[in-house]
Amino acid sequence: MNLELYTSALSQLRFGKRLPGAVYVFRDDAFPFHEPIESLIGVLKSRHGITSNFNVLKFRTDELKISFLSYPEFLDDPHPALREAISIDLVTGKSRRTDYSDNINPPILHRKEAFIPKEHPQWNAFRRLTEAEESAGLYEQPSTIGFRLNWERLLQQKGLALIGHSLEKVEGAPEVKHAASPFVQRHRTAMTRYDLSKPVKTLLEYGLLETGNTFFDYGCGQGADMRGLCGLG
């Protein structure tokens, strides 16, 4: 399958979370993909020994690559954490596994309704949660909430808690204001780097930073030629 046929097939997916460069889809046997995507997924699962635990697929839309992502608690956890990933290059046939099971700050998902079709029995519950979180201002800085610890810290700052797929105000918990960030004298730090830090690279890999965003990353040193900051597009 060449890139043109591949991207044409992806354009026909009737559901999925679309981000710049990729589309994410929850894998449910009750909602199979159309051909030739369904056959391609079957071949890759057989060839690479991929089990049903890998229930979210990331289709790159700009190159021939597919990632099988394991979110064991996708249906039950309002913001499930990534357990393991298998990335496959469709040109070379090579695969790469990444294990997040021991990571205390793994990537997590938001807007779960985007991953599933509207006919899915849990679509409405997922959508109601997203609307509640939007109303609470939790998505104002989307580039900072893609990891578990950042998300949990934000909920605490807002005095909120998740009970299943419901967002609740914590009784008697005042909203915590952001503490001022300490000034860091970069010339006295122990290390100078000239590349993006690993957390930011992971955000980029899983499509959690959108093109057009500008941000500061301590992984970028003076050699990063991006308007003085690490920016996307």
CA distance 116 to 155: 25
Instruction: Verify that 94 and 41 share a domain, yes or no.
Output: yes
* 164 close to 203: Cβ distance less than 8 angstroms: no
Q: Which residues span the domain enclosing 225? A: 181-233
176 occurs within a structural domain: no
Question: What is the total count of domains within the chain?
Answer: 3
Q: pLDDT per residue over 157-216, tens digit each?
A: 999 999 999 999 997 655 544 443 333 343 444 444 444 566 665 665 555 665 556 555
Domain boundary residue among 169, 198, 213?
Answer: 169
Query: Structure pTM?
Result: 0.73
29 occurs within a structural domain: yes
Instruction: Verify that 154 and 197 share a domain, yes or no.
Output: no
Instruction: Verify that 83 and 136 share a domain, yes or no.
Output: no
33-48 exposure pattern, b = at least 16 Cβ within 10 A, e = fewer: beeebeebbeebbeee
108 occurs within a structural domain: no
Instruction: Verify that 126 and 208 share a domain, yes or no.
Output: no
45 occurs within a structural domain: yes
Domain boundary residue among 72, 99, 126?
Answer: 99
107 occurs within a structural domain: no
Instruction: Verify that 26 and 55 share a domain, yes or no.
Output: yes
Residue with tokens 């608690």: 73
174 occurs within a structural domain: no
Instruction: Verify that 9 and 91 share a domain, yes or no.
Output: yes
Q: Output the pLDDT for position 102.
A: 95
105 occurs within a structural domain: no
Instruction: Verify that 91 and 21 share a domain, yes or no.
Output: yes
Instruction: Verify that 85 and 17 share a domain, yes or no.
Output: yes
Three-state secondary structure call for residue 26: strand
59 occurs within a structural domain: yes
Instruction: Verify that 190 and 225 share a domain, yes or no.
Output: yes
Instruction: Verify that 126 and 93 share a domain, yes or no.
Output: no
Domain boundary residue among 169, 192, 210?
Answer: 169
Instruction: Verify that 129 and 149 share a domain, yes or no.
Output: yes
Q: Give the mean pLDDT per block of 10 residues along the chain (233 residues).
A: 90 93 95 93 96 96 97 97 98 96 96 97 98 97 93 96 95 53 40 53 59 55 37 41
Instruction: Verify that 8 and 48 share a domain, yes or no.
Output: yes
CA distance 95 to 147: 24
